Structure formats: structure tokens, C-alpha cells
Amino acid sequence: MPQSSAPRKTLGRPPRISREEVVTTARRIVDAEGVDRLTMRRLATEIGSTPMALYHHVRNKEELLVLLLDDYATRTLHRPELPAQPRERIVAAAATIHEALAACPWIVEVLTADDLMAPSALWFVEQIVDGLVECGLSPERAVHGYRAIWYYTAGEIVVRVTAAQRRTDDDRPTYRERVFADLDPSELPRLAQVADQWSPLTAEDTYLDGLRALVDGLLAPC
């Protein structure tokens, strides 16, 4: 793996671009034009080099995206004052992660990578796991609880972001709208009842309500 931070022991051609420059330039492209426009070729021309030069600094495009997420997390995920009460601490930590992710929609491509295991996010994971343990869960159940919170959080981001993308793409009625339009009220009475409110209702941001419900449910046996 290329290590631009390691001391140079052997002499060779001096590097013209650094891993950091690659990541910074990639960030600029993504911020300005969206993640779809980030290609190795585009990045190379932007940086004044060739596609292949990049491969000396990142293993491949996927690694570049993970580095980008790390970079983003390090820059924006500052540790807030969290409530002392453990239940509220869990909610606040999850909400902070959620807020940071929601503000950078391109993340969806990378989000699903592993966990959100950017080093700067680990502190929040710690707070959540610790809060669950303090509330009486075993370490094992606390990890499972964190995962449930993570599934819920990642799902909310993925669903909301991609729905938003589709809305701007074109203005024909969405597939969902067509399906709701010819709904049989005798077969699906509840859905028919809420059909015309569905869009505004699902557009509301209810992340926090659902999060509280989930945390309450996870802590209920205690």
C-alpha cells in the first residue's frame, strides 16, 4: 500500500501528486457536481495527471470512496456535548451521525460499505454501546442494539436520498404514484384511506420519532 506519510528510504522519482491531493480533489468534484461525476479519468485531468497515476496512491475507486467518507467524517463530525442520561445520550449520538450523513447525499454509495467505521465515527458508536450497557444490556445485546440503530439510520438515509434523486430526475408521475392511483379500496382499505396523504406524510422527517421508538423498545426489558 502506498504510504505517503512514511519516511522515504529509497530514492526514486519524486512524487508529483499525493494521496491527500487525490482525496481533496475528489472531494471538490463530488461537492461541486455529485458523486456520479467522480471518475478516475475526470479526477486525473482535474489533478493534471493521468488515470494511472492515481493507482499509485489509491488501490482502486472503492478505496477512494472510503477515503472520501473518512475525510468527510473527520472534517464534519465534531464531538458534541452529549446528555448524561444514557437513553438520551444514545438518541443524541445516533441523531448526530444521522445528521452528518443526511447532509452529504453522495454517501449512499459508500455507506453500505461496511459499518460506518470511519475512525472519527467510532466515538459515537462507543457512546451508543456504552449507553445501552449502562441501561442494563449485556455487551452482546448492546452490540446488537447498536446494529439495529445503524440499520434504521442507514435505511432512512438510503431511502430518503434515492427518493430525492428520483424526484429531480424527471417530473412524470413516479411508479409509486401510479400504483397508488389505481388502488382497490375494497382490497386495501387502509392504504386507500391514506393514499392522497401518502406523499406528504412520507416526506416528513420522522427519523427522531422512529429512533426514540426503537431505543425505547430496545431498553424495554430493562
Partner DNA sequence: ACCTGAACACCGTTCAAGT
Residues that bind its own copies (CB under 8 A): 66, 108, 111-115, 117, 119, 122-123, 125-126, 129-130, 133, 139-140, 142-145, 147-148, 150-156, 158-159, 161-163, 166, 174-176, 179-180, 183, 187-191, 193-194, 197-198, 201-202, 204, 206, 209-210, 212-218, 220
Q: Which entry of its own copies, DNA, none binds 8, CB below 5 to 8 A by partner kind?
A: DNA
Looking up cell 477515503 gives 67
DSSP state of 33: H
Q: Which is nearer to its own copies, 50 or 165 (CB)?
A: 165
Q: Which is nearer to its own copies, 28 or 75 (CB)?
A: 75
Chain-centre distance of CA 105, in angstroms? 8
Residue 21 phi, psi (nearest 5): -65, -40
The residues, ordered by sequence, that sit 6+ positions from 17 with a Cβ below 8 Å of its Cβ are: 47, 49, 53, 57
Q: Which is nearer to its own copies, 23 or 218 (CB)?
A: 218
Alpha-carbon gap, residue 220 to 222, rounded angstroms: 5
The residue ranges that bind DNA (CB under 7 A) are: 2, 4, 8, 10, 12-17, 38-42, 49-53, 55-57, 60-62
Q: Contact 110/69 with Cβ under 8 angstroms? A: yes
Numbers of helices and strands, H then E, in the chain: 12, 0
Q: Which entry of its own copies, DNA, none binds 206, CB below 5 to 8 A by partner kind?
A: its own copies
Alpha-carbon gap, residue 52 to 56, rounded angstroms: 7
Q: Least distance to DNA from the beta carbon of 53, Å?
A: 4
Q: Which entry of DNA, its own copies, none binds 7, CB below 5 to 8 A by partner kind?
A: none
Q: Which is nearer to DNA, 61 or 144 (CB)?
A: 61
